[in-house]
Structure 1
């Protein structure tokens, strides 16, 4: 037996896919992603030969009858050819019928269920993951920048042929070791985090935990046996999916005799190179199992990918004593660039090793009892000796040095100043230690009621206190000459920041500000400069006074609730009037309510921003429920009522047809109420496209006391445009949406039937501008393009009915900032 590692003589990097053979025999193998190989022969062998395209062949003498461990190097072959002529006989059109390669892949597809690890009756194993991200393709003078002048140790040289470029600046490293258990019947899983270590940045600017979650999503597990493979949040059809022969071409390109079994090398490529498909090679075990033994995947160079310059996935499967295969090693490399193809970008590499695999679980009842995910004591503080003893593969000293190097960099004054600037640009806040000032995009706004509005705000950080958090702002409208503001104080029950997961706090707040009717019910009470630009007539506003108290609690299973009290006084302003059918004006409406909101988002992961969370989308639904009880006489409340609301969000992955986001919601309000306390439906009069609002509906156009709505937004991912000869070069993606809502107002709440009720709004010409739904739902739809200039989504929106209402548009062009990979 001969085993060893093969490296590039000039760079020292491991070389995968090198052919290793005993000359004169059919016994051969190829090196894995780490450059390792193992070759066995029962007959005497005296020589070993290594071959790789572009490198000189290497033949060495070996000792017969002995196990040998070798470290070998290959040198580049610098010989150049003056001229190459390639000719080929004409072949017929590619067909699936009578194609031995297609017959083979159909056998692989037929045996997927028995070969996929997730279908094993019982399985336990340890899994080691390492994820490294580096700034790549740097110019030679980049290390001379002031920020890095005293940190030359950060930079590394790289083989120019490797994805990413020559000069690297490693910026992130994470290692994780877990113990996993799974059974098929019943279907259950358990994960124990044994050790975790990662580079950490300033937590006041970057959510380190959220960054790890986001990167793990980008480099998610690749299971070749799934119908769809998710790489860099983009869905690719697997080459062994049930429908794969419809979209891929297959060719048997080689047979390889290894020490274990003979492998059939199956090359594949997309029928349409512009589709979101993969190309590469599968190595199929020719032992009757039709299991995948090795994988090499890349994305088609012409695929509609944004910012992604290169994709490589290499995987190796090992055989268990029961003859079934499991994923033993995986290596995923993604290269990103914001600018030109050869410009500066990022290279991320995830290496994974699975070992210590057992096909029987001892005492499964005890193993699967309790939580599905556990963290071992001390998992985030493991010593260097622990890591050295428990890593499932060797890691170079230069790689492990990244932890120390980045820690030294982040402590420098120059880097801290750079992070402060980044915090302002990306988070909207300037960090001043115990206080953050911002968000800066709310400092300047304008509207027809307030004219120019200036605002200044901020909040405290954990440097001020880990228990008490203060937040507030003050603003002034120069046209209405009124002050606005917010004052909030919160107490963290878990002694952690109230803005990070899991939230657990009590908060009391007082707020006075202006909003369009219905706007404050959308959960976004921020003014911003972009929202100041609006279409149509915008002359109805409310002066709002809010007094709130709330208890917020999140749990590890992604269940959360908000129990609170709210007193709301709303006063009509500008063209908005509150009057009944008898002509009696009402200056204000006051409601007091106790409310409970429950949210359940199974398996949800997110990046925690300064003001909100950026969800990392998955296939699991999100459930929301809210109940509010208005109490007359409580803190000046004038009405008794009950308000129920529920919604479900779900993302569907439809393989080559793209991704669909689906939302259904509904509500019911009990008791007799003036229409401002009914459901004022979510309109949008800005020029920004909003996914969860009706973009052609005017503010305060429709109200209901019972309603249901549906929202479907589908992205085709370039499915059609990729097939058009010229347009496909623009890498645009198609979108289509459909939104509909239907509801009504019961007789007891309909001002047309009761003159004592507050009347619906009319404009200066006496035409009504507020309505209930007739016998048909309100419907609007849109078609659009995303990836316009790489960061815009443009939608042409069409309103289909209720076009007789005053000042309503039939068509509209809306834009949304949207970055796709």
Structure 2
């Protein structure tokens, strides 16, 4: 046979071999986070043949014939998975189910290599942590958050009811089953921003240049979509998860809380990586389990995976995955490239809809130690600023297609389309109004808001059955002006009461300013706080303490207020008011005082200064609620009462000052304290003095003395402290399934009353007391997070032991509702 014939036969044999060869490709991902699982091991069952996925979880394997018909996939921290190879299979998408890391990963050697690697990571943190190593840096952030509904049976039952049927087809069309579990992609928001950081002097700035919130137009919420408040830094000693501090596996004291093991060593190109696995030493502690890939030499993190399951001390959580990836931006520096956060919540078991929250953040175009960063930060008027650029919420689809760091998945595109349909659906609008009404008792009609319905009907010992009706403007009336009024009527005293107020907000940013004018004539129920129960509420009927005389006083007040932020955390408020008090029952009556036949009137001018450095807020259209500050908040005020001014009858001066702080001390929990003091100069009736806040309900009030009655102690000079330490699970760590949390409280008041004020106020039949320099103290302990919502406090009145009336019990049990993670 000639050479040509041999060559022809060789080519035909090669073609036959290639054609007969089978190829298998695909990728391996975490079933929960959907992130790639690097270096997963594949083995054909009952054989010694196998292969390994690469660092991105991808694999490629070729053979003329499969060694067996079943492929076994394993990886540390995941359940072993077996996949049958059917005829024609050439591509696989494999989802591995996370499991608890076990001791099987530990390789016994003379040197604990896991501990050795951890020590070197900690040693190199000053170099690898971007917030410590660089003088300044910049990157562009793309943030994407998706909310999905799971446990859909109850939703599908509801949508079969006639009023909700229009939603049924839309929901069924969008249910996803690709992960084996039904879930409904429900909401998606995304933003793109430029982030600037400077270490010394500290400055941070984020410019949000595009956002898409799909129907939520709250400006303060938009600011939380960026990267300023969502930074998770695995190099920190503690990692914040839903406002609870968890110990990072890279903590400087991590060896007290974690066991470390070297699971594997791999080489990618010229770089060697260690696979470090960590598990908690004690179950029930605020720790993660997970693994990370560590670059040899620099000991920088290349990829970190953290997990929590339902045993973690986080309410409603089924499981959580947190992944961070780092990439090299030069020959030696690893820089953050991607965050992914996935959390499953089931508030009330599998029979009620739950939520899957997914947040993905990518970082591009990083600059480090660059003068352009400091030039931008020179624009800052505050240490930390978030700027929402004009027009950033109006970007069109074409912009997003080119600006996103990564394209949308099919699910995410479907969400966009579904949200547009749902938000304009009359059924959806009706349902959201009903839910809002149930939560707040408020509902809108055109440009006005009615309610709260929870104040429509109530009652007390003076008015008997009471009705109240509120009307207020809403944002459709005016963007800067808000008004509110209510009318109430008591069927026993047969008197109308009411209030009218106007709030004008000319400026919200960068320095807030407002004007307020109000008039009120009603029973004075005392100051109430968010989350507390007032006496003017239907729920107050059933929780009053027995055998305590009901005290009623009418307050007629007209006031004007001006508030202005000065910058750098400083603000001031000026208030001019005229108050007339008319005691009604079980209080010293007005006619006991020389000028009190028509009520006791005081006209005041108050100036109040406040310092709250880097305080954060959540804002509505007109009002805002403080989220606190990392630093103590200081307040000081001076009030001058002027006789003859606006009909006032008394001259006096009141000085008040306080310091309050929420101090996180992980892993020992959270301390909440307030220290305050004050003095009244002058001789005045009791309502113009300091009346110590008492509580006559069985509902715990964190701002009041719960074993003290209202109007029990009055002072013209006083100092006090409120202290609460939430320890976390504490002794309940022994019973982790309960998820109870332990706390203790201390409240103390030191006060005195001048002889002149005693002579004026201690009239016949009075029930007032003075501490006369003694200390009043309550101590308590409690159990929080009972059934995830309830708190029980056990409170003892321990001081003073003598020289005061003993009409109040020395021990009490109080309940309250607290919603937190």
What TM-score results when the alignment is normalised by the length of structure 2?
A: 0.83
Secondary structure of the structure 1 residue equivalent to 2:189: strand
Distance 2:475 2:485 in 1: 16
Secondary structure of the structure 1 residue equivalent to 2:37: coil
Measured after TM superposition, the shift of residue 308 of structure 1 is 0.7
Provide Cα deviations, 1:670-689, integer angstroms capped at 9, x if missing partner.
Answer: 33333321111221111111
Evaluate the alpha carbon distance shift between residue 37 and residue 712 of structure 1 in structure 2; reply closer, same or farther with a 3 A threshold.
farther
Match of 1:434 among 423, 447, 463: 447
Distance 2:32 2:528 in 1: 61
Evaluate the alpha carbon distance shift between residue 370 and residue 381 of structure 1 in structure 2; reply closer, same or farther with a 3 A threshold.
same
Aligned to 1:367: 376
Secondary structure of the structure 2 residue equivalent to 1:716: strand
Aligned to 1:183: 198
Secondary structure of the structure 2 residue equivalent to 1:409: helix
Aligned to 1:475: 488
Secondary structure of the structure 1 residue equivalent to 2:379: coil
Paired residues in the alignment total 757
Measured after TM superposition, the shift of residue 100 of structure 1 is 2.8
Measured after TM superposition, the shift of residue 349 of structure 1 is 0.6
Distance 2:678 2:717 in 1: 6
Match of 2:753 among 733, 745, 757: 745
Q: Give the conservation status (yes or no) of the 8 Å contact 1:320–1:326.
A: yes
Q: Give the conservation status (yes or no) of the 8 Å contact 1:769–1:805.
A: no
Q: Give the conservation status (yes or no) of the 8 Å contact 1:687–1:813.
A: yes
Q: How is 1:33-112 mapped onto 2 (pairs within 5 angstroms)?
A: 53-54=80-81, 73-75=91-93, 99-112=112-125
Q: Does residue 262 of the first structure (1) align with residue 272 of the second (2)?
A: yes
Aligned to 1:759: 761
Match of 1:128 among 129, 142, 146: 142
Q: Give the conservation status (yes or no) of the 8 Å contact 1:435–1:461.
A: yes
Measured after TM superposition, the shift of residue 17 of structure 1 is 0.6
Evaluate the alpha carbon distance shift between residue 186 and residue 458 of structure 1 in structure 2; reply closer, same or farther with a 3 A threshold.
same
Distance 1:383 1:150 in 2: 28
Aligned to 2:640: 629
Evaluate the alpha carbon distance shift between residue 255 and residue 518 of structure 1 in structure 2; reply closer, same or farther with a 3 A threshold.
closer
Evaluate the alpha carbon distance shift between residue 443 and residue 600 of structure 1 in structure 2; reply closer, same or farther with a 3 A threshold.
farther
Distance 1:502 1:579 in 2: 43
Q: Give the conservation status (yes or no) of the 8 Å contact 2:485–2:500.
A: yes
Aligned to 1:66: none
Q: Give the conservation status (yes or no) of the 8 Å contact 2:683–2:757.
A: no
Secondary structure of the structure 1 residue equivalent to 2:307: strand
Measured after TM superposition, the shift of residue 210 of structure 1 is 5.2
Provide Cα deviations, 1:565-596, integer angstroms capped at 9, x if missing partner.
Answer: 21100011112124799999755210111223
Q: Give the conservation status (yes or no) of the 8 Å contact 2:465–2:491.
A: yes
Evaluate the alpha carbon distance shift between residue 394 and residue 557 of structure 1 in structure 2; reply closer, same or farther with a 3 A threshold.
farther
Measured after TM superposition, the shift of residue 107 of structure 1 is 1.8
Aligned to 2:342: 333
Aligned to 2:184: 168
Stretch of structure 1 that moved more, 289-298 or 337-346: 337-346
Measured after TM superposition, the shift of residue 116 of structure 1 is 0.8
Distance 2:672 2:188 in 1: 33
Distance 1:638 1:796 in 2: 43
Q: Does residue 420 of the first structure (1) align with residue 433 of the second (2)?
A: yes
Aligned to 1:643: 654
Aligned to 1:541: 552
Evaluate the alpha carbon distance shift between residue 634 and residue 775 of structure 1 in structure 2; reply closer, same or farther with a 3 A threshold.
closer
Q: Give the conservation status (yes or no) of the 8 Å contact 2:691–2:715.
A: yes
Aligned to 2:67: none
Q: Give the conservation status (yes or no) of the 8 Å contact 2:33–2:342.
A: no
Q: Give the conservation status (yes or no) of the 8 Å contact 1:522–1:682.
A: no
Measured after TM superposition, the shift of residue 521 of structure 1 is 15
Secondary structure of the structure 2 residue equivalent to 1:402: helix
What TM-score results when the alignment is normalised by the length of structure 1?
A: 0.83
Provide Cα deviations, 1:535-589, integer angstroms capped at 9, x if missing partner.
Answer: 2423322111011122344578665543222110001111212479999975521
Distance 1:369 1:90 in 2: 51
Aligned to 2:77: none
Aligned to 2:506: 493
Aligned to 1:194: 209
Where in structure 1 are there 5+ consecutive unaligned residues? 39-48, 59-71, 79-86
Provide Cα deviations, 1:445-478, integer angstroms capped at 9, x if missing partner.
Answer: 2222222211111211132334543311111112
Q: How is 1:689-708 mapped onto 2 (pairs within 5 angstroms)?
A: 689-708=700-719
Evaluate the alpha carbon distance shift between residue 356 and residue 483 of structure 1 in structure 2; reply closer, same or farther with a 3 A threshold.
same
Distance 1:582 1:596 in 2: 28
Distance 1:659 1:585 in 2: 47
Measured after TM superposition, the shift of residue 56 of structure 1 is 5.1
Q: Give the conservation status (yes or no) of the 8 Å contact 1:225–1:240.
A: yes
Q: Give the conservation status (yes or no) of the 8 Å contact 1:769–1:806.
A: no
Aligned to 2:20: none
Secondary structure of the structure 2 residue equivalent to 1:636: coil
Aligned to 2:778: 780
Measured after TM superposition, the shift of residue 789 of structure 1 is 2.1
Aligned to 2:287: 277
Q: Does residue 149 of the first structure (1) align with residue 158 of the second (2)?
A: no
Distance 1:541 1:631 in 2: 26
Secondary structure of the structure 2 residue equivalent to 1:19: coil
Provide Cα deviations, 1:591-617, integer angstroms capped at 9, x if missing partner.
Answer: 111223344444444444699755445
Secondary structure of the structure 2 residue equivalent to 1:509: strand
Stretch of structure 1 that moved more, 467-476 or 267-276: 467-476
Stretch of structure 1 that moved more, 667-676 or 472-481: 667-676
Provide Cα deviations, 1:409-448, integer angstroms capped at 9, x if missing partner.
Answer: 1222111111111121112202112111111121122222
Evaluate the alpha carbon distance shift between residue 761 and residue 225 of structure 1 in structure 2; reply closer, same or farther with a 3 A threshold.
farther
Aligned to 2:6: none
Match of 1:379 among 392, 406, 425: 392
Q: Give the conservation status (yes or no) of the 8 Å contact 2:106–2:261.
A: no
Stretch of structure 1 that moved more, 615-624 or 257-266: 615-624
Provide Cα deviations, 1:241-270, integer angstroms capped at 9, x if missing partner.
Answer: 122111111111111212252111111111
RMSD: 4.0
Measured after TM superposition, the shift of residue 127 of structure 1 is 1.4
Evaluate the alpha carbon distance shift between residue 502 and residue 415 of structure 1 in structure 2; reply closer, same or farther with a 3 A threshold.
farther
Distance 2:530 2:733 in 1: 41
Distance 1:475 1:627 in 2: 33
Secondary structure of the structure 2 residue equivalent to 1:655: coil
Aligned to 2:13: none
Distance 2:342 2:103 in 1: 34
Provide Cα deviations, 1:94-129, integer angstroms capped at 9, x if missing partner.
Answer: 99x953322321221222222111012221211111
Aligned to 1:319: 328
Q: How is 1:513-528 mapped onto 2 (pairs within 5 angstroms)?
A: 513-516=522-525, 527-528=536-537
Q: Give the conservation status (yes or no) of the 8 Å contact 1:275–1:719.
A: no
Aligned to 1:455: 468
Q: Give the conservation status (yes or no) of the 8 Å contact 1:26–1:257.
A: no
Distance 2:474 2:725 in 1: 40
Aligned to 1:794: 792
Aligned to 2:683: 672
Measured after TM superposition, the shift of residue 513 of structure 1 is 0.7
Secondary structure of the structure 1 residue equivalent to 2:118: helix
Evaluate the alpha carbon distance shift between residue 460 and residue 583 of structure 1 in structure 2; reply closer, same or farther with a 3 A threshold.
closer
Match of 1:712 among 716, 723, 740: 723
Q: Does residue 226 of the first structure (1) align with residue 236 of the second (2)?
A: yes
Distance 1:74 1:246 in 2: 42
Where in structure 2 are there 5+ consecutive unaligned residues? 1-23, 61-70, 75-79, 97-101
Measured after TM superposition, the shift of residue 708 of structure 1 is 2.0
